Amino acid sequence: MVLGHPGLVLVDFTAEWCPPCRMIRPVLDAIASERSGTLTVYQIDTDENPRTVAEYRILSQPTLMLFRDGRPLLTLVGARSKTKLLAEIDAALRD
């Protein structure tokens, strides 16, 4: 399962009908490319995965969760710039 993937994983809980989700997609694509080899980015469609959504208590889209070796480190709700998102990820990794 994606959420049990080893290493660093950023999961984007998203939906096709969600405008902010479409806004953040290019940001996540850029981060996936820039951090290739150290960070894996996955999308989980909230409409198609209701059990996972309930398990992680996802209430809004987009919700981004950063995992290290399957353990959640950070949860963020809403679209943001690449600069801000990378700063938040890096801060969580330092803690």
Judge whether residue 13 has pLDDT over 70.
yes
Each domain of the chain, given as residue ranges in start order, spans: 2-94
Which of the following is catalytic: 3, 18, 74, 86? 18
- 2-94, what's its fold? Glutaredoxin (3.40.30)
Q: With bands split at pLDDT 50, 70 and 90, how would you rate the model's confidence at 55?
A: very high
Q: How crowded is residue 36: how many other Cβ atoms within 10 Å of its Cβ?
A: 10
Radius of gyration, alpha carbons of the chain? 12
What residues contact residue 52 under an 8 Å CB cut-off, 6+ apart?
3, 44, 58
Q: Is 21 a catalytic residue?
A: yes
Which of the following is catalytic: 8, 9, 10, 21? 21
One-letter amino acid identity for 59? L
Judge whether residue 1 has pLDDT over 60.
no
Tell me: the pLDDT tens digits for 27-45?
Answer: 999 999 999 999 999 999 9
Q: With bands split at pLDDT 50, 70 and 90, how would you rate the model's confidence at 2?
A: low
Q: Is the separation of the CB atoms in 31 and 82 below 8 Å? A: yes
